[in-house]
Structure 1
Amino acid sequence: MDFKKVSGLFIVVVAVILIMGSLMDTPDANPVSATQGQLLTKKIDAPSLKNNMIDESLQQEITVFLPKSYEETKKNYPVVYFLPGYDDSFVNYGHVVTRGMSQLIANKKINEMIVVTVNGRNKLKGSFYVNSPVTGNWEDFVVQDVVTYMDENFRTIKQAGSRGIAGHSMGGFGAISIAMHHPEIFGYVYSMSLGLFAAEGIGKTNLDFSVANSYAGKSKQEARAEYIKEMNDLRWPKNFSFAYGSAFAPDPEGDAPYIKKVSVNSLQNSNYSRDGAWKAWNAGFGEIADKVDSYETNLKKLKDITIEYGSQDEFAWIPEGCQAFSEELTKKGIKHKLISFEGNHHGQTNDRLIQEVLPFFSDRMSFEE
């Protein structure tokens, strides 16, 4: 027996098996079967993004988990909308939801409901789910395009008491921001490790204010062309800074990267003059008291608010921001729950989504019209 040939054949077979397994695990537009439901990937129109300046597609994808009984009955279902974090894959979360829901339903630990995972990863790897003249109106995309698509194409219960919104990190911010802007759409919100700045919190981040000067000295046309070309090659924390600035401190009348210019000194020194541009950067995740004050009435309309963070979060400003937010809600008499768990920023996200977040909505949302 030629052991070299046998050994070589064995390696080839193993390689083929691994490749096939990888391909089978790769999400696509086809339904993914599950014991207690199925996951669909849908490409939908996104007219809310039509005025963006970075060539963002006007079609976006979402995943939709449908419980097994959806095909067996004619009843309508409540819907949970989940918003992933910065540079996170909505498809991966869709699979986490599918596995989790199947397990929970099989063990009779959750009511059957539809779960939608929304793509918030734009060309800068993060939209922050806000309306921006540079990156497009991502809040409107969620509230108008996605919710309308679901209500028109699936048997949903079309009332706030039967809609929930959740998210992690950037998505956690998006969830509470959208919920407090639209309590007529979403009745329940669960924000995981959400991005918020307590006092001076912006100075503890990786934000690089100098990014706005990246294309200085080039013509308007050259700067735009280079910016669009380099988007996919941006790396942390530069990409995060571009994305954050485009979302919260946009400068659509200026040159690429269309972000308001701010002095690095104003970030590092609280005594430094802080102009309108700095205030725009800070207001994104910051000015918590102002946010709560402005949307106090809407926040009180929400049926349930839960905020959670990992006590060992490597971004130390996140626990501080969550605590500051809770304190402001308490001052206004806004009912909510603040949860701290042993963990970091990402490590327990999938487990907590399955064990805490999905049951939270199942226990609270209305399952009747």
Structure 2
Amino acid sequence: MRLLLLLLCVATTAVAQGRILVDTIHSKAIAGNAIGDTPNREVFVYTPPSYDRTPNRRFPVLYLLHGFTSHPREWLDGSYQGLDLQQTMDSLWRVDAGEYLVVMPSADNAMGGTFYVNSAAFGKWEEFVADELVRFIDARYRTRPERLSRGLAGQSMGGFGALYLAQKHGELFGSVYAMSPCCTAMVGELAASSDVWRYVRDTTTVTPPAMAVSVRIARAMTAAFGAPYDTPNTWSQFLPTDLLAKDATGMKRSCAVVIEYGLDDAITSVSLGSRAFADELARAKIPFRLDVFAGDHTNRTRQRFEQRVLPFFAQQFSGVAPNGNCLP
């Protein structure tokens, strides 16, 4: 009998799976944007195996923001070294890590991405994520509707968005993990002296292939921020490093801050910006972790998700990780 019960338990564990649900939110915050982008936004939601089995249980939520020219599906369809976030999350549950929901909004647009800020060109994306999306998820799913049970993570442009939103909305999100965050400061290919800006200004000249991605990102940032990069005080309202230098209040409420980047990342604003942001955290006496790994912008994505990012939030939400700097 004991052997039979054990086999039944193993079988149940082996087949237990979470689900990926796809919702569509009609966003008033995004409606009426200048580029005519649809206000009907897809949101992918992972629910863990016990979500359907335990109807009275509430769960923490990780809000996961994708990168430039990307889409939430890429975390599910194997685009990153075979990563299937659903399977990875289910595996975490099998080793007794804490279960939580993962919410992945689609922020792609005709210019490649929104940068998750309020913008006349792209719509009020900060408002969409921090207000409409959080309220929608808390109303539709059984969440723990408090900031200690909400986390932010993102990759590249999503890393930018995670750091930006964590600072602007410390009352909502308790912890943040930025994966290879781009564009957090005017450094590297975004420095004022960079040739990138010459091609941003002169749209009639063919951009050299080696600079094409950087120029496209810079043009999208210019549209999102509503002014050229050298307009006084405009970009500093959005760049996470500048925001932190001016007022660290929001980030000081964070229970945990992690930034990571690959040593071989060809987007130089990632490494330089990450270190600049870390320097500002240190200056503000905010505890943080800066992880550097062997890899480029995306070629360790699956490994980082499986071994670092997702287990990190399981610890944060379960209370295993120390939260000595977590202010109310």
What's the TM-score, normalizing by structure 2? 0.81
Q: 1:83 matched to which residue of 2? A: 65
Q: CA deviation at 1:46?
A: 1.3
Distance of aligned partners of 1:246 and 1:103 in 2 relative to their CA distance in 1, 3 Å threshold: same
- Which one-letter code corresponds to 1:176 in the other structure? L
Q: 2:313 matched to which residue of 1? A: 361
Q: CA deviation at 1:295?
A: 2.9
Map of 1:96-135 to 2, 5 A cutoff? 96-108=84-96, 110-135=97-122
Map of 1:107-256 to 2, 5 A cutoff? 107-108=95-96, 110-195=97-182, 196-197=184-185, 202-203=190-191, 207-212=196-201, 214=203, 236-248=213-225, 250=226
Deviation digits for residues 113-140 of structure 1 (CA, Å, limit 9, x no counterpart): 1111121212211101111111111111
Distance across 2 between alignment mates of 1:285 and 1:292: 9
Q: 1:48 matched to which residue of 2? A: 29
Distance across 1 between alignment mates of 2:190 and 2:237: 10
How many corresponding residue pairs? 289
Q: CA deviation at 1:209?
A: 4.6
| Bigger Cα Rg | 1
Distance of aligned partners of 1:200 and 1:41 in 2 relative to their CA distance in 1, 3 Å threshold: closer
Which stretch of structure 1 is more off in the superposition, 323-332 or 89-98?
89-98
- Which one-letter code corresponds to 2:142 in the other structure? R
Q: Are 2:302 and 1:314 aligned?
A: no
Q: 2:43 matched to which residue of 1? A: 62
Q: Are 2:282 and 1:330 aligned?
A: yes
Distance of aligned partners of 1:70 and 1:47 in 2 relative to their CA distance in 1, 3 Å threshold: same
Distance across 1 between alignment mates of 2:300 and 2:217: 22
Q: CA deviation at 1:145?
A: 1.6
- Which one-letter code corresponds to 1:244 in the other structure? M
Asked if structure 2 preserves the Cα contact closer than 8 Å seen for 1:208 and 1:237, the reply is no
- Which one-letter code corresponds to 1:314 in the other structure? A
Distance of aligned partners of 1:301 and 1:281 in 2 relative to their CA distance in 1, 3 Å threshold: closer
Q: 2:209 matched to which residue of 1? A: none
SS in 1 for 2:104: strand
Asked if structure 2 preserves the Cα contact closer than 8 Å seen for 1:206 and 1:237, the reply is no
Q: CA deviation at 1:83?
A: 0.3
Q: CA deviation at 1:349?
A: 1.3
Kindly, what percent of the aligned residue pairs are identical? 32
SS in 1 for 2:154: strand
SS in 1 for 2:291: strand
SS in 1 for 2:29: helix
Q: CA deviation at 1:317?
A: 2.8
Q: CA deviation at 1:328?
A: 1.3
Q: 2:6 matched to which residue of 1? A: none
Q: CA deviation at 1:87?
A: 0.7
SS in 2 for 1:338: strand
Higher helix share: 1
Distance across 2 between alignment mates of 1:200 and 1:320: 7
Q: Are 2:234 and 1:298 aligned?
A: no
Deviation digits for residues 242-298 of structure 1 (CA, Å, limit 9, x no counterpart): 3111112x15xxxxxxxx4x7xxxxxxxxxxxx526x64576547x2x421333111
Q: CA deviation at 1:199?
A: 5.1
Unaligned runs of 5+ in 2: 1-14, 78-83, 205-211, 320-328
Distance across 2 between alignment mates of 1:212 and 1:351: 38
Asked if structure 2 preserves the Cα contact closer than 8 Å seen for 1:202 and 1:282, the reply is no
Q: CA deviation at 1:210?
A: 4.1
Distance across 1 between alignment mates of 2:118 and 2:308: 29
Asked if structure 2 preserves the Cα contact closer than 8 Å seen for 1:94 and 1:117, the reply is no
Q: CA deviation at 1:238?
A: 4.7
- Which one-letter code corresponds to 1:129 in the other structure? Y
Q: CA deviation at 1:304?
A: 0.7
- Which one-letter code corresponds to 1:296 in the other structure? A
Which stretch of structure 1 is more off in the superposition, 346-355 or 150-159?
346-355
- Which one-letter code corresponds to 2:25 in the other structure? I
Distance across 1 between alignment mates of 2:22 and 2:132: 16
SS in 2 for 1:70: coil
Deviation digits for residues 91-115 of structure 1 (CA, Å, limit 9, x no counterpart): 222453212101221233x211111
SS in 2 for 1:61: strand
Q: CA deviation at 1:211?
A: 3.6
Q: CA deviation at 1:42?
A: 1.2
Q: 2:292 matched to which residue of 1? A: 340
Asked if structure 1 preserves the Cα contact closer than 8 Å seen for 2:154 and 2:178, the reply is yes
